[in-house]
């Protein structure tokens, strides 16, 4: 699969079936994140790969009610960082940007490997930190929910979530976010 195919195939699916997560898969995903660019090559990201059934079950407590579908995760990847670990150039604070790039690389690689890798913001960072032993100074930037896409739509989804399984949510028109040479008006 080439990059443009992976970009097109990636979807934030919520109907998941279980998939085995061997060590070499985790290494492969970590290697993809490792090669992402970062400010001054600071590589501010940290990832906690949660895959044991006991820890996955404990993570249910950290998920928001709209993310019950994520109880079917085969792995949850917590993406962590802190602003001191990356460039701060006046009002430009780069740690979340660089973690987003690394997470994006990881998500595309997971897509290429036939997996769903769905980032979420709907979780309690406090509970996530308690469960995963994450030091207070870190920010939990996202959790990436990993599994295999199920053909059957999960019954726990809301109507909107069910609709999004069938059809990718609409995007803004390119003309709404692209300008040529300078922004007019
Ligand atoms: C930072 C971030 C937070 C998100 N949080 C959630 C979430 O809490 N729950 C959820 O079901 N989807 C979440 N999503 C997925 C988006 O809803 C999804 O990417 C968007 O609707 C577009 O759909 P697509 O990725 O399938 O194209 C999140 C995505 C991102 C990047």
Which residues have a Cβ under 8 Å from the Cβ of 48 and sit 6 or more positions away? Answer: 77, 78, 80, 132, 134
Give yes or no for residue 185 having a pLDDT over 80: no
Distance between Cα 147 and ligand 1 center (Å)? 15
Minimum CA distance residue for ligand 1 atom 12: 120
Minimum CA distance residue for ligand 1 atom 13: 120
Give yes or no for residue 184 having a pLDDT over 90: no
Give yes or no for residue 46 having a pLDDT over 90: yes
Residue-range domain boundaries for the chain: 3-177
The class that CATH gives domain 3-177 is: alpha beta
Give yes or no for residue 98 having a pLDDT over 90: yes
Distance between Cα 13 and ligand 1 center (Å)? 9
Give yes or no for residue 117 having a pLDDT over 80: yes
**Mean pLDDT for the stretch of residues 168-179:** 97
Is residue 68 within 6 Å of ligand 1 at its C-beta?
no
Q: What long-range pairs does 130-136 form, CB within 8 A, spacing at least 24?
A: 131/55, 131/58, 131/59, 131/61, 131/62, 132/48, 132/50, 132/55, 132/59, 132/78, 134/48, 134/78, 134/80
**Mean pLDDT for the stretch of residues 34-60:** 98
Looking at the CA of residue 122, tell me the nearest atom of ligand 1. 8
């Amino acid at each position: 699969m080439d990059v443009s195919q992976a970009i097109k195939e990636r979807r934030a699916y919520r109907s998941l079936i279980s998939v085995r997560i061997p060590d070499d898969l985790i290494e492969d995903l970590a290697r993809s994140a490792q090669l992402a660019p970062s400010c001054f090559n600071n590589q501010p990201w940290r990832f906690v790969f949660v895959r044991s059934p006991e820890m996955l079950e404990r993570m249910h407590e950290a998920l928001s009610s709209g993310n019950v579908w994520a109880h079917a995760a085969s792995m949850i990847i917590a993406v962590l960082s802190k602003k001191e670990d990356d460039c701060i150039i006046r009002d430009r604070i780069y740690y979340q940007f660089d973690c987003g790039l690394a997470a994006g690389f990881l998500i595309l690689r997971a897509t290429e490997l036939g997996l769903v890798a769905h980032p979420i913001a709907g979780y309690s960072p406090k509970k996530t930190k308690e469960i995963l032993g994450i030091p207070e100074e870190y920010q939990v930037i996202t959790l990436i929910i990993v599994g295999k896409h199920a053909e059957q739509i999960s019954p726990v989804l809301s109507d909107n979530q069910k609709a999004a399984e069938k059809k990718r949510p609409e995007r803004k028109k390119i003309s709404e976010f692209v300008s040529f040479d300078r922004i007019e008006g």
